[in-house]
Amino acid sequence: MRGPHNLWRLIRTGATLERTGAMGVVLDAFDAPRPIRIAFRTLVWPFKRLGIEGDASMPPATRALSALGPAYIKFGQILSTRPDVVGVDIANQLRVLQDKLPPFGVEQARAQIEAELGVPLDECFSEFSEPVAAASIAQVHKARRADTGETVAVKVLRPGIERAFRTDIDAFYFAADVIETLSPASRRLRPRDVITHFESVVMGELDLRLESASASQYAANTEDDEGFQLPRIVWGLSGRRVMTMSWAEGAPLGDNDAIDAAGHDRVLLSERVLQLFLNHALRDGFFHADMHQGNLKVAPNGDIIAYDFGIMGHIDEYTRRVYAEILYGFIRRDYKRVAEVHFEAGYVPADRDVDEFARALRAVGEPIFGMDATRISMARLLSYLFEVTERFGMQTRTELILLQRTMVVVEGVARSLNPHMNIWNVAKPVVEDYIKTSIGPRAAIRDLVQTAQVLGRFGPRLPGLVEAALIQQSDGVFNFKPSPWPTRILWGSLGALVGVAITVAWHLWS
């Protein structure tokens, strides 16, 4: 229930951060000003003893987020990829949240698998290991199929995870309501819509049948991508709470020592992981939206292997084109065009000044170009970008939240492999290729072909639809009669012929 009782959850969150020592660490990481530090400490200190003590063997930030539950752990996973935002020390501490959390018992896992698949575990697997990785929502076991002898990975949801996430999400909704009430200016950020989007993503992650389907679609989209692999889903041994897939052998992408020992080129890998993400987002509109180091490996042949498909992002063709034009404008340092795209897409209110917005964007983009990536403070850059969006009345675009968040995570992964990587230089060839194929004469003809195909399908119905519209508009003044069937057939044939003609023209152009 999303009521005031969730205030207790929020108080306990602050108290846990204070009790575990994470409050000071977090405030230091974000370089919070002194008044903010005093305000937080004053509000939270009286409730310190109400906080969860957590595992004292863990560093403060990891200890606090682990104690608070799965939704907070997800937040920590994102921060673990951004040493430039929270600092190297905290990022390394939070990295254990990716796949090194305390597991639940193997007997609980066996019981869940048997309940889900409806058969004894020994009939499915001749070998079944202790957990090899444990994350916020599920854990993974290495097993051997009883029928084929194939080595597989078996993913099992944590017991009670659905209820735990519901508790956190309800508290987040309450916090969003409080923020919108106390700070009307925050409404442009649409905090409730952001939480709604987060909820839909998480609820999908808690049904492993949907994850299996996403993995299958992702594999079909990327089967020709060089340097990229995905494990194969074993549908007969998968269900709502269990998912089985082929075993992915390789070095964790977050283990630079192992990558170096295997002789892989980290600079090449850093570029590949970013370009793969951009290709999937722009070309396919369907991308892996949880690409942190815990979900990526490097195969012995140097390919990048992705797994854990619980969070996948989808963006429509129009949004992809807008996003590509914005990226392309930044790459070309054409800030006026970037500003115009924001206005054309309705991202910035029409009553604002486009030239002033372009100058503000220049202040965001220029520090990046020609500068060593290690000297760029992403925390300060994001802070200034937030100021710009507030000044120009930009509202949060919920359809882009997952894309933007994943972009931040993937850049963090790439920079952990190569701290000197410049995101714009690496992104340029992918974005330019998308621009060439999706924005221009060829793309316009393709759009016309698709429109004609739709018209062709509705051709036989078009005369009736037009006549119905005219009758409605006439409001009974004119007495329209439906056209005879020969006329309808003629109109339908003409619609189909137009579709065929444009389709032929498109193939000739291609």
Range 175-192 average pLDDT: 70
Least confident of 196-210, 280-294, 434-448: 434-448
pLDDT band for position 120 (cuts 50, 70, 90): very high
Q: What local confidence, expressed as pLDDT, does residue 73 receive?
A: 82
Residue with the bigger pLDDT between 82 and 76: it is 76
C-alpha dihedral sign at 294, 292, 110, 69:
positive
Share of the chain above pLDDT 90, in %: 30
Q: For 239-338, where are the E strands, in sequence order? A: 242-246, 251-252, 286-288, 296-298, 304-306, 312-314
* Confidence at residue 182, expressed as pLDDT on a 0 to 100 scale: 67
Bridge pairing between strands 304-306 and 228-229: parallel
d(CA 422, CA 218): 27
**pLDDT of the residue at 171:** 80
Q: Domain locations in the chain?
A: 6-99, 248-438, 441-509
Residues 314, 285 contacting (CB under 8 angstroms) = yes
pLDDT band at 506 (very low <50, low <70, confident <90, very high): very low
SS3 306: strand
First to last CA, the chain: 56
Which whole number is the average pLDDT over 331-348?
88
- State the chain's mean pLDDT as an integer: 80
Condensed to tens digits (0 to 9), the pLDDT of residues 276-322 reads 999 999 899 999 988 888 899 999 999 999 998 988 888 888 888 88
- The pLDDT of residue 130 is 95
Q: Are 60 and 25 in contact (CB under 8 A)?
A: yes
pLDDT score of 155: 97
Asked if residue 311 lies in contact with residue 201, where contact means CB atoms within 8 angstroms, the answer is: yes
Q: Which residues pair with 139 in a beta bridge?
A: 134, 156
Residue 230 pLDDT exceeds 80:
yes
Cβ atoms within 10 Å of 270's Cβ, excluding its own: 22
Q: Confidence band (pLDDT; 50, 70, 90) for 500?
A: very low
Q: Is residue 485 over pLDDT 80?
A: no
The pLDDT, as a whole number, for residue 176 is 78
Residue-wise pLDDT tens digits, 369-409: 666 666 655 555 555 565 676 678 776 565 566 777 788 78
Residue 510 has pLDDT above 50, yes or no: no
Q: Are 110 and 121 in contact (CB under 8 A)?
A: yes
Selection from 153, 285, 297, 172 nearest residue 232 by Cα: 153
Q: Which residues pair with 128 in a beta bridge?
A: 143
Q: pLDDT at residue 504 above 50?
A: no
Average pLDDT of the segment spanning 427-431:
86
- The pLDDT, as a whole number, for residue 374 is 62
What is the pLDDT at residue 32? 64
Residue 491 is predicted with a pLDDT of 45
Q: Looking at 143-147, 369-373, 433-437, which range is the least confident one?
A: 369-373
Q: What amino acid positions are annotated as catalytic residues?
A: 290
pLDDT at 335 over 70: yes
Residue type, 9: R
Please check the confidence at residue 59 and state whether its pLDDT lies above 80.
yes
Q: What is the pLDDT of residue 493?
A: 47
Residues 6+ apart with CB under 8 A from 307: 153, 230, 231, 245, 248, 295, 296, 297
Mark out the alpha helices in 183-252 (DSSP H runs): 191-205, 208-222
| Cα distance between residue 246 and residue 241, in whole Å | 17
Higher pLDDT, 83 or 358: 358
- Put simply, whether the predicted model's pTM sits higher than 0.85 gets the answer no
pLDDT class of 490 with cuts at 50, 70, 90:
very low
Q: What pLDDT, on the 0 to 100 scale, is given for residue 74?
A: 74
Does the structure show a pLDDT above 80 at 160? yes
What pLDDT does 125 receive? 97
Q: Between these two residues, 382 and 13, which has the higher pLDDT value? A: 13
Q: Give the model's pLDDT for residue 484.
A: 52
Query: What are the beta bridge partners of residue 100?
Result: 134
pLDDT at 148 over 70: yes
Position 4 pLDDT exceeds 90: no
Best mean pLDDT range from 22-26, 76-80, 439-443, 456-460: 22-26
